[in-house]
Chains A and B, each alone.
Chain A
Amino acid sequence: MNAALLIAGAIAVAGGLGVVIGRTPVHNVVSLIVSFIGLAVLYLTLDAEFIAIVQIIVYAGAIMVLFLFVIALLTTRRDPVQNRKPEPSGQTFFGIVTAAAVLMFLVGGVLGLEAPGGEGIDETFGQVAAFGRELLTTHVFPFEIAAFVLLVAVVGVVILVGRKQA
C-alpha cells in the first residue's frame, strides 16, 4: 500500500508540476489529466472505488474535454508566445516563497497530527451501493441543492456566452 502511495503520489505531483510549468495550454491539460489519474489510483488505495471512477469519468473525461474545447476555440488564431509582456518583477519569486510558507504551515500541522484511528471498515465501504444509500437518504437535501447549483451554472453559461456580440 505504501508503494502505491509513493508511485501514484509521484505521478500526481509530476502532473501538477507540468500544469504549473507548461507553456502550451494543451500540454497543461494533458498534465492535469495525468495528475487526475494518479489521484484516482490514490482514491482506489483508500477504498474509495466510486469516487475513483467518478474522478476518471467526470474530471479526466468531461471537464478536461471542456478545457480542450475552449483552447481549440480560442487559441488557434495566434501564437500564445507572441507579444508576451514582461513579467512584473519578482512575481515568480514571491509566489513561490508564499506557497512555500503555506506548505510548511500545512505539513507542520499534518506532522503534529494525533488522529485516533476509527473503527475498521466493512465490506461495502466506498462501493456504489453504500455510496448511493448514503447520498439518497442521509444527504438527500444537499443532493437537491447540488442539482440546483448545476442548473444555475448552466443558465449562467448560456447568459454569458450565448449573448450576441454587442
Chain B
Amino acid sequence: MSETALQGYLALSALIFTLGGVGIMVRRSPLIMLMCVELMWSGAALALITFARHVGNMDGHIFAFFVMIVAAAEVAIGLALIVVLFRRREEVDADDIQQLRG
C-alpha cells in the first residue's frame, strides 16, 4: 500500500470522525446526536482497517469487529434512554436534560 493511499484513507477517516463531532456539537436532538456518534465510530473503524491492511496484520480487523459489537450495545442502551426521555416529555431537546447539572 503506497504512502499516498494510506494518507488518503486516514484523511478520509479523520474527516468522517470530525463530521460526526460537528453533528454532536451542533444538533440538539438526542436521536441525531446518537447517529453522529455512530459516524464517529465508523471513522475510527476505517483507520483501524486501513492500518491492518498497511501492516499486513489482521488484528486491526478483530479490533474493528469489537468496535462494532460495542457500538451495537451502545445503540441499544442509547435508544432505550431516548425512549424513556420521550415518555417523560413531549419534545426532547438535549439542552433540557439538565437535572444532573451542578
Consensus secondary structure, chain B interface: helix
Consensus secondary structure, chain A interface: helix
Per the bound structure, the CA–CA distance linking A110 and B18 in Å amounts to 14
Per the bound structure, the CA–CA distance linking A71 and B21 in Å amounts to 22
Residues B45-102 near A (CB distance < 8 A) = 45-46, 49-59, 61-62, 64-66, 68-77, 79-84, 86-87, 90-91, 93, 95
Which residues of chain B are near A100, meaning CB under 8 Å? Answer: 18
The total of chain A residues at the interface (CB under 8 A) is 84
What are 26 inter-chain pairs, A to B, with CB distance below 8 A? Answer: A5-B8, A5-B9, A13-B15, A19-B32, A25-B32, A32-B38, A35-B39, A36-B42, A39-B46, A48-B52, A54-B65, A62-B72, A63-B72, A66-B76, A67-B34, A73-B83, A85-B95, A91-B26, A95-B25, A102-B21, A106-B14, A113-B6, A135-B62, A156-B76, A156-B80, A157-B80
A residues engaging B (CB < 8 A)? 1-2, 5, 9, 12-13, 16-17, 19-20, 22, 25, 28-29, 32, 35-36, 39, 42-43, 46-48, 50-51, 54-55, 58-59, 62-63, 66-67, 70-71, 73-74, 78, 80, 83, 85, 87-88, 91-92, 94-96, 98-100, 102-103, 106-107, 110-111, 113, 115, 117-121, 125-126, 130-131, 134-135, 138-139, 142, 146, 149-150, 152-154, 156-157, 160-161, 165
B residues engaging A (CB < 8 A)? 1, 3, 5-12, 14-23, 25-29, 31-32, 34-36, 38-39, 42, 45-46, 49-59, 61-62, 64-66, 68-77, 79-84, 86-87, 90-91, 93, 95
